[in-house]
Structure 1
Amino acid sequence: MGFVGDGFKENVEQTDVGAVIRGGREILLQAFNWEAHKHDWWRNLENKVPDIAKSGFTSAWLPPATHSFSPEGYLPQNLYSLDSSYGSKHQLKVLLSKMKQHKVRAMADIVINHRIGTTIGHGGMYNRYDGIPLSWDERAVTHCTGGLGSHSTGDNFHGVPNIDHTQLFVRKDIIGWLKWLRNTVGFQDFRFDFARGYSAKYVKEYIEGTKPLFSVGEYWDSCNYNGHRLDYNQDSHRQRIINWIDGTGQLSAAFDFTTKGILQEAVKGEFWRLRDPQGKPPGVIGWWPSRAVTFIDNHDTGSTQAHWPFPSHHIMEGYAYVLTHPGMPSVFYDHFYDWGNSIHDQIVKLIDVRKRQDINSRSSIKILEAQSNLYSAIIGEKVCMKIGDGSWCPAGREWTLATSGHRYAVWHKS
């Protein structure tokens, strides 16, 4: 589709899809929350771009930018319309241009597990897409969610038509749309929403066909619990995330939900959880850190949805962990911009330490203490950190305090 004269100029770049993952120096900002659609969002972010860049973020994940049945953007309908509840196509263009100027990559939220139909078709369901671009018929909807397509290749997102990725015409159209987002609109990175809903091999095909600089998938299922208590061993949970990454041909990273689940229990006085039986970090970062995006909250787990929130008076311990450890850390908008200047500045200091000491996704880690009230580790041989209320500092005069706050401290080698 040409979309000539829509205000976006062709912006094609020759890219090496693996370069960003190989570099491992990504620091992401999730640049929205669940209420963002109420607040003239593209304009709000445009004003913050200089601060986002100065703070050290390499990529900002934006909310779904295309037309949606729900204001938050997660029930897409007309994928080629860029007028959304976050702002107009023009405002998005201004935002993306400013981000490019400040060298912060824009990450598009890719919602392709499901799509809301425009017309009633087979079985009296809204499973046709008449009258809009990508005007699919019922074959594009999985058999299990009321269409005439094949069975889903993943978990169903209930109550709405799920897209059948086994259909060649569907995949061809999705690749065309992703290329448009990438090359014409100007998004450089992709975040795949509800990645459990369709086979990872299609994500591989979409990345190969469209060449985003960086991709991350939301493969979120429940950690292992015994009643309400989190199990110490989460190996099967992290293995499922790793299987998904493998399924993408190792082209995509994934959010490290295992680390989030363990870390938010650990900070309540169970820091022993932060060392697995092999002496490694217990999340995906302990097994495959170069593909793990660590975080402590997002628009689903925190914000006003609060499905699985990090304990609020421990968030700086959480950030002291993810911003000093291997993996690629992500910071949540609310913590960075809505929880006060002190939190914002403490996070910036931690990012600064990470960058100055060149901590990256593959940095070595040696866990020194993992007790009930104390965790400490040396990362990349240049950074030492502790969290918890246990008193501790590194032995040796070569260590200088770099930054500290409530229940955390970070040192670097002088």
Structure 2
Amino acid sequence: MKQIKTLKIFSFCFVATFFSCNNEEIDESKIDTNEFKTIQVTNHDGKPFSTGNSSETNKFNSGPGGGVMMQAFYWDVPAGGTWWNVVKGKVASWGNAGIESIWLPPVSKAQNGPFSMGYDPTDYFDFGDYNQNGTVETRFGSKTELTSLITTVHNENMKVYADIVINHNSGGQSELNPFTNSNTYTKFNVASGKFNRTYNDFYKNSFGNNDEGSFGGFPDLCHANPYVQDWLWKRSDGVGKYYKNTMKFDGWRFDYVKGFGPWVVNQWNANVGGFSVGEYWDGNAATLEWWCDNANSSAFDFACYYKMDEAFDGDDLSKLSSGDMLWKRRPYRAVTFVSNHDTDQIWKKNLAYAYILTHEGYPTIFYKDYEDWLDKSKLNNLIWIHNNKATGNTSILYADNDEYIARRNGYNGNPGLVVYLNNSSSWQERWVETNWSSTEIKDYTGNSSWQPTTQGGKWVKIQCPPNSYSVWSTL
């Protein structure tokens, strides 16, 4: 038997199957409203998540619900310098589907040369045009192909974000480091001639023994060094400003931000600008909130990610109601996701995507999910729903182990929506309180053919198919 775990909901006695009349009346005057425990999750004015505009143009306009990001790669995409052209060939269809932005892997030359995914950076200014580390092109292609891709993205009125790896470097030559009294691979005389580095630019050095964290034994870049700061975010020809003003990137995904203080991203954003999101891999929503506030940046909502895994794969949708998530604390800072190049542990992805694409935050679609593993037409439908109907702050209407119902309360004339998630093996029905009085509504997923009319007091019965979802809004 189903056990209700978080919300005590007034029940109606209906001896009926899901074929019951969806326009049946209830006497609202007899409802004990104290039995309905609607949870108001967020209380802001309802504006959508904003990633800002490019400094050169105002052509990026999201729909009423905000934007959707595409992670335009996966781990070990085909080598051989073809990936930029593969992505370029998909940009138009992604834009037509409602994708607002794409996130690219690290674009510069790395130690593993033609085989590197870019997370072991050597030369930040070699985009595939210098012969070093065993190759001219990067794994993904040439600088010409990269700039052509970026231009194509912008021509489709979309944004492009660069993956920035500034915690560590790799591929330097050995040199004597007096601070460790040993040889370290910290001498970087790079082919571009820009941002050469020595042992004093990495910990352990004259600025200290360490910072917040190191990664994989790679030389740990010292952000306390003014020389490093100059080349990363202060100089007009440094990494950040060159990527933004010359390469025309619109924003940044910062890799492994646990490895350095949030002030680093804060300073980058203050000096360079553009949208930013940090990979702070932590399931504690309060910790993510702390990092966002101090970095003045968005962060991937790992708290939401882990709660979705507990809810959908752990068969307890009440976790979506009770669970603490970044989007509940900072809806304008949370970048939500179902899987990415590093982690892919949620099995019931159809429910997870229905969740993030109807809830607050900046939802991200993973390339493999969209192009290979899931039903693209269903994802496109959810993207449309997000862009056109997922507006306003959030109220949770019902949650137990099998069912979850939430309401987006609308913004600026847009009506919002009611989303119904069903993790059980049978059709389910619920009476819910909407924001719409005497109004005909429908399920915009097409999973239900009902088109009920809400009652004068805004109540209506909706339904949801097994192991699936429905999303209701006005016609």
Bin of the TM-score, shorter chain as denominator length: 0.7 to 0.9
Query: Hey, what does 1:226 align to over in structure 2?
Result: none
| Equivalent AA in structure 2 for residue 323 of structure 1 | L
Cα offset for 1:137?
Answer: 1.2
> Is residue 231 of structure 2 the alignment partner of residue 189 of structure 1?
no
> Is residue 423 of structure 2 the alignment partner of residue 389 of structure 1?
yes
Give me the whole-angstrom Cα distance separating, in 2, the residues matched to 1:365 and 1:153.
39
Paired residues of 2:65 and 2:387 also in contact (CA < 8 A): no
Give me the whole-angstrom Cα distance separating, in 2, the residues matched to 1:141 and 1:20.
41
> Is residue 404 of structure 2 the alignment partner of residue 368 of structure 1?
no
Cα offset for 1:101?
Answer: 0.6
Give me the whole-angstrom Cα distance separating, in 2, the residues matched to 1:26 and 1:153.
35
Superposed, 1:248-287 pairs within 5 Å as 248=295, 250=296, 252-268=297-313, 269-276=315-322, 282-287=324-329
Query: Hey, what does 1:216 align to over in structure 2?
Result: 277
Query: Hey, what does 2:407 align to over in structure 1?
Result: 378
Cα offset for 1:259?
Answer: 0.1
1:328 to 345, 356, 362: 362
Structure 1 residues 394 and 109: CA distance shift in structure 2, 3 A: farther
Q: Which segments of 5 or more consecutive residues in structure 2 lack a partner in the other structure?
A: 1-53, 129-137, 411-415, 448-464
| Equivalent AA in structure 1 for residue 223 of structure 2 | H
> Is residue 291 of structure 2 the alignment partner of residue 244 of structure 1?
yes
| Equivalent AA in structure 2 for residue 392 of structure 1 | E
Structure 1 residues 243 and 389: CA distance shift in structure 2, 3 A: closer
Give me the whole-angstrom Cα distance separating, in 2, the residues matched to 1:204 and 1:389.
41
Superposed, 1:165-180 pairs within 5 Å as 165-175=223-233, 176-180=238-242
Higher strand share: 2
Structure 1 residues 394 and 344: CA distance shift in structure 2, 3 A: farther
**Secondary structure, in 3 states, of the residue corresponding to 2:161?**
strand
Paired residues of 2:318 and 2:400 also in contact (CA < 8 A): yes
**Residues 145-176 of structure 1: CA distance to partner in whole angstroms, max 9, x if unpaired?**
xx554233322213110100011110110111
> Is residue 212 of structure 2 the alignment partner of residue 154 of structure 1?
yes
Structure 1 residues 15 and 412: CA distance shift in structure 2, 3 A: same
Paired residues of 1:138 and 1:149 also in contact (CA < 8 A): no
> Is residue 351 of structure 2 the alignment partner of residue 317 of structure 1?
yes
Give me the whole-angstrom Cα distance separating, in 2, the residues matched to 1:409 and 1:163.
48
Give me the whole-angstrom Cα distance separating, in 2, the residues matched to 1:255 and 1:317.
19
> Is residue 108 of structure 2 the alignment partner of residue 36 of structure 1?
no
**Secondary structure, in 3 states, of the residue corresponding to 1:120?**
strand
Paired residues of 1:138 and 1:148 also in contact (CA < 8 A): no
Structure 1 residues 288 and 131: CA distance shift in structure 2, 3 A: closer
> Is residue 266 of structure 2 the alignment partner of residue 204 of structure 1?
yes
Give me the whole-angstrom Cα distance separating, in 2, the residues matched to 1:247 and 1:33.
30
1:344 to 376, 393, 407: 376
Give me the whole-angstrom Cα distance separating, in 2, the residues matched to 1:393 and 1:183.
53
Query: Hey, what does 2:385 align to over in structure 1?
Result: 353
How many percent of aligned residue pairs carry the same amino acid? 28
| Equivalent AA in structure 2 for residue 91 of structure 1 | E
What is the Cα-based RMSD across aligned positions, in Å? 2.2
Structure 1 residues 295 and 247: CA distance shift in structure 2, 3 A: same
Give me the whole-angstrom Cα distance separating, in 1, the residues matched to 2:165 and 2:57.
23
> Is residue 97 of structure 2 the alignment partner of residue 68 of structure 1?
no
> Is residue 465 of structure 2 the alignment partner of residue 410 of structure 1?
no
Superposed, 1:9-48 pairs within 5 Å as 13=55, 25-38=66-79, 40-48=82-90
Paired residues of 1:152 and 1:197 also in contact (CA < 8 A): no
2:185 to 119, 126, 139: 126
Cα offset for 1:392?
Answer: 2.7
Cα offset for 1:24?
Answer: 7.6
Cα offset for 1:398?
Answer: 3.2
Structure 1 residues 131 and 286: CA distance shift in structure 2, 3 A: closer
Paired residues of 1:24 and 1:328 also in contact (CA < 8 A): no
Structure 1 residues 24 and 238: CA distance shift in structure 2, 3 A: farther
Superposition TM-score, scaled by structure 2 size? 0.73
| Equivalent AA in structure 2 for residue 324 of structure 1 | T
Query: Hey, what does 1:7 align to over in structure 2?
Result: none
| Equivalent AA in structure 2 for residue 399 of structure 1 | I
| Equivalent AA in structure 2 for residue 104 of structure 1 | M
Higher helix share: 1
Superposed, 1:109-120 pairs within 5 Å as 109-120=163-174
Query: Hey, what does 2:149 align to over in structure 1?
Result: 95
| Equivalent AA in structure 2 for residue 267 of structure 1 | F
**Secondary structure, in 3 states, of the residue corresponding to 2:90?**
helix
Higher relative CO (CA 8 A, sep ≥ 6), structure 1 or 2?
2
**Residues 232-289 of structure 1: CA distance to partner in whole angstroms, max 9, x if unpaired?**
xxxxx111111111111x3x1100000000001101211111112xxxx631111111
Structure 1 residues 243 and 408: CA distance shift in structure 2, 3 A: same
Q: Which segments of 5 or more consecutive residues in structure 1 lack a partner in the other structure?
A: 1-11, 224-236, 303-308
Structure 1 range deviating more: 148-157 or 64-73: 148-157
Structure 1 range deviating more: 51-60 or 147-156: 147-156
| Equivalent AA in structure 2 for residue 366 of structure 1 | S
